[in-house]
Structure 1
Amino acid sequence: MKVLIITNLFPLNNNSNSGIFVVQRLRHYKSFNVNLDTISLGHHNSKIASLLEKLLRGHSNKKTLEEVENVKFYPVSIEINLLRLIKYGLLRNYFTVLCKEYKKMIEEAFNLNEYDLIHAHGMYSVPAGLTAKILAEKYRKPFIVTLHGSDVNLFMPHRKEIYVSILESASATIFVSKALLEKAKSLGFSGKNAVVIPNGYDETIFKPMDKEAVRKELGIHREGYKYVGFVGNLIPIKRADKLGEIFHLIAKEIPETFFIIVGDGPLRKKIEKETKGLNIIFTGRLPQKDVAKYMNAMDVMVLPSRNEGWPCVILEAQACGTCVIGSSNRGIPEAIGFPEYVVEEGDQFEERFARRVVEVLNEGYDVNRILERAKGFTWRNIVEKEIDVHKRVVLKS
């Protein structure tokens, strides 16, 4: 069986962890001897647009990395210029027009008749799912779409008709959480072809380490201190704008707390300003092996997000034996798996969230129970389920 993967989630030159959950699953496909090619759909600015972006934002557009962890990506990129922006702006069906351009470029580079199946990851501003549908219809191939989170939670409500059409016509749709599937159903999707398969974690990287030893190695050891951390993009949807408030509330109850923020984003300067005076470290973005060390250094990892599909960081932290406390939003409760570590959304959320973290720091938790839960979510287990879907779809076609 030969599979064509089309994705708009992929590593970038300034963030090699972007779309890491796609990289990891593709790497594990290889261990099952799956024959595949992976196309990353993106766009790049014209010289004038790049110059304008650099002047306005301080950087030019991001570039796709073509190889990460022995996984090769074939970038298919459309140039965004003034003429194309005007054209897209005037068209109601610009999504379809855009994807037909991607289709043409893919056809020039690949022999589509060679593939048994097309599998799209993501339905974001560059809709991989629609490109897969257009190709599948022309070449009479089955196609699958995997939905990861914001594609349903943020994008689908604004383009319900086209999203529902794509999902209904797919041979199978994979959602990373039950909550994400229910959200799609609330927007008009029947769910007739849906299956829930979450993202996984790499057990060779995320595994328990001695906390004292790893804190010393990282240069953050403080005798008698508790360690609380956050891993992710510093953006509003992660509720990173409230980390300063939450951390201060925790420190008020347990002054000897060391805080760790792994990640970067537009809210970083705001958080740095708000957390002045706390024992805190900002690491920026890190390779996965270093993320695992900081997760092991934490007693509790927090994820107070306003929205999530299936946050991989939860299982990664649990695989390190670290307790995760999260909000009740979307896929977070499913990923955590323990209701006692979920804080309900609502009034005085930050105060209640901080209080729960303090309680867990004081009371402790069963590390073995957390480790045992994580075992079922290794990438090998997850990919095996996806390959079963592939086989079923190809047999039916």
Structure 2
Amino acid sequence: MRLIILTKRQYTGRDLLDDRYGRLYEIPRALGAAGHPVRGLTLSYRQRPPAPPDTAGWESLNTLPFSPLGAARHLRRIRDICREFRPDLVWASSDAWHAIAAWRTCVPAGIPYVVDLYDNYESFGLSKPPGVIPLLRRACRAASGLTLVTRTLAEHVAAEYALPVGQPRLILGNAVDTGLFRPLDRLAARRELGLPEDALLIGTAGALDASRGIATLLEATERLTAARPGLRLALAGPGDGSLKRFRHLPIDYLGILPPTRVPAFWNALDVAVVANRDSDFGRYCYPQKLQEIVACGVPLVASRVGEVAELLRGTPASLADPDSSAALAERIDAQIREKIHVDRAQVRSWAQRAKELSSFFEMVLARSSEGGTGQCR
């Protein structure tokens, strides 16, 4: 299959091309490795240099999609690539605009396209201008298929988007580089990152802001340090100023780590934490860090929200009620004592996800050519 990938360049706090990071870099790379010709077009909403030379097959544009001139330039480039590359299918991901752009370019050209919803795009800032959400829903209805990161998101979209009967849909969760994320020596990991070697360490990495429940984790840490004076909280990632109120806590803040150092971070911890709020984001997302932590074999505690509750159904000791610092502190304290691990067998590699997606694309293309029906699976 000849595939075109449409996505924004900056997502989940990383740069797709500079960091070679995440779902929208790893799955296309694995599809290419499996023998499918792949072209990628990224749209940067800030000024960025061209695609690095060692990211072959990717092109980057700098523009603002809701500037009429920028939107027209982006659509024109998609049409040009389609004419040059002659894809069998287009996979559009990352936000509402990319779904809309695929719809506006692929339907007139008769090219099947699949919209990838790795989050509830309606909650993104880019979806706030009037008319964007109706266009997003229309683009999803017109798509040849949908890939959705969680079952909870799939149920939400099915209930709200008036999707056509028989439209193919695939639940496509996230994955990890299993060669990078694996159990490592804890002491060596702490030395690598400059963390205290003899401390009791809990922590998290990722967006450290109020919308992701960082205040709940900080308040839980406050409770824990009262009973466990040697406990410290390790944090990595961008913040929104929430840490300022908790300067009295024993916090080791490492800033934003490059992806290659994140495995050492998780392995340095006694207990890793995935705190999320009971919000649109928390209910529909698939925390990338959850797969990373499980792959590293580190005990964890996660908020019982959305898909996480299903993923950790077999280890209820790893779940805490969301938005409750008392419940989170209790679960972390129990994990410090019991060290219950999640089965690493549930971890998926990007190659496995690419294989699932390839099979789905083949079904979508067969349906498109034969006029048959598909199903959500």
- SS state of the match for residue 254, structure 2? strand
- SS state of the match for residue 382, structure 1? helix
TM superposition shift of 1:258? 2.3
* 1:70 matched residue in structure 2: 55
323-332 or 33-42, larger mean C-alpha shift: 323-332
Distance (Å, rounded) in 2 between the aligned partners of 1:323 and 1:300: 5
Aligned partner of 1:299 among 270, 280, 296? 270
Q: When the two structures are superposed, what TM-score results if normalisation uses the length of structure 2?
A: 0.84
* 1:114 matched residue in structure 2: 86
1:4/1:115 contact within 8 Å kept: yes
1:303/1:326 contact within 8 Å kept: yes
1:99/1:130 contact within 8 Å kept: no
* 1:371 matched residue in structure 2: 344
1:115-130 aligned within 5 A: 115-124=87-96, 127-130=97-100
1:244/1:274 contact within 8 Å kept: no
* 2:240 matched residue in structure 1: 266
Q: Is 2:222 aligned against 1:248?
A: yes
Cα deviation 1:113-132 (Å, max 9, x = unaligned): 611111101224xx111111
1:200-349 aligned within 5 A: 200-223=175-198, 225-267=199-241, 270-271=242-243, 273-306=244-277, 307-308=281-282, 309-337=285-313, 338-345=315-322, 349=324
- SS state of the match for residue 343, structure 2? helix
Give the direction of change, closer, same or farther, for the CA distance of 1:281–1:72 in structure 2 (3 Å limit): farther
> Could you tell me which amino acid in structure 2 is paired with residue 340 of structure 1?
A
Q: When the two structures are superposed, what TM-score results if normalisation uses the length of structure 1?
A: 0.80
2:152/2:306 contact within 8 Å kept: yes
Distance (Å, rounded) in 2 between the aligned partners of 1:133 and 1:332: 31
Q: Give structure 2 stretches of 5+ with no counterpart.
A: 369-377
> Could you tell me which amino acid in structure 2 is paired with residue 8 of structure 1?
K
Distance (Å, rounded) in 2 between the aligned partners of 1:320 and 1:67: 30
* 1:144 matched residue in structure 2: 114
Distance (Å, rounded) in 1 between the aligned partners of 2:338 and 2:49: 45
TM superposition shift of 1:112? 5.3
Give the direction of change, closer, same or farther, for the CA distance of 1:10–1:68 in structure 2 (3 Å limit): farther
TM superposition shift of 1:180? 1.1
TM superposition shift of 1:395? 2.5
Aligned partner of 1:177 among 143, 150, 153? 150
1:153/1:183 contact within 8 Å kept: no
1:200/1:378 contact within 8 Å kept: yes
> Could you tell me which amino acid in structure 2 is paired with residue 122 of structure 1?
S
TM superposition shift of 1:144? 0.4
* 1:190 matched residue in structure 2: 163
Give the direction of change, closer, same or farther, for the CA distance of 1:112–1:387 in structure 2 (3 Å limit): same
Cα deviation 1:311-330 (Å, max 9, x = unaligned): 11100111000123121223
TM superposition shift of 1:110? 5.2
> Could you tell me which amino acid in structure 1 is paired with residue 101 of structure 2?
T
Aligned partner of 2:357 among 386, 393, 397? 386
Distance (Å, rounded) in 1 between the aligned partners of 2:274 and 2:17: 21
Distance (Å, rounded) in 2 between the aligned partners of 1:65 and 1:328: 41
* 1:396 matched residue in structure 2: 367
TM superposition shift of 1:253? 2.3
> Could you tell me which amino acid in structure 2 is paired with residue 3 of structure 1?
L
Distance (Å, rounded) in 2 between the aligned partners of 1:76 and 1:233: 26
Give the direction of change, closer, same or farther, for the CA distance of 1:13–1:145 in structure 2 (3 Å limit): closer
TM superposition shift of 1:30? 2.4
Q: Give structure 1 stretches of 5+ with no counterpart.
A: 44-60, 89-96
- SS state of the match for residue 111, structure 1? helix
Distance (Å, rounded) in 2 between the aligned partners of 1:147 and 1:164: 11
TM superposition shift of 1:222? 3.3
> Could you tell me which amino acid in structure 1 is paired with residue 354 of structure 2?
V
TM superposition shift of 1:153? 4.5
Distance (Å, rounded) in 2 between the aligned partners of 1:175 and 1:370: 24
TM superposition shift of 1:370? 2.8
Distance (Å, rounded) in 2 between the aligned partners of 1:237 and 1:9: 22
Distance (Å, rounded) in 2 between the aligned partners of 1:351 and 1:36: 49
Distance (Å, rounded) in 2 between the aligned partners of 1:109 and 1:326: 42
After superposition, the CA RMSD in angstroms is: 2.9
* 2:103 matched residue in structure 1: 133
Distance (Å, rounded) in 1 between the aligned partners of 2:99 and 2:74: 12
TM superposition shift of 1:278? 3.2
2:120/2:153 contact within 8 Å kept: no
Give the direction of change, closer, same or farther, for the CA distance of 1:302–1:77 in structure 2 (3 Å limit): same
> Could you tell me which amino acid in structure 2 is paired with residue 238 of structure 1?
R
- SS state of the match for residue 258, structure 1? strand
- SS state of the match for residue 107, structure 1? helix
- SS state of the match for residue 203, structure 1? coil
2:187/2:197 contact within 8 Å kept: no
- SS state of the match for residue 380, structure 1? helix
Distance (Å, rounded) in 2 between the aligned partners of 1:79 and 1:165: 22
1:42-53 aligned within 5 A: 42-43=44-45
1:41/1:128 contact within 8 Å kept: no
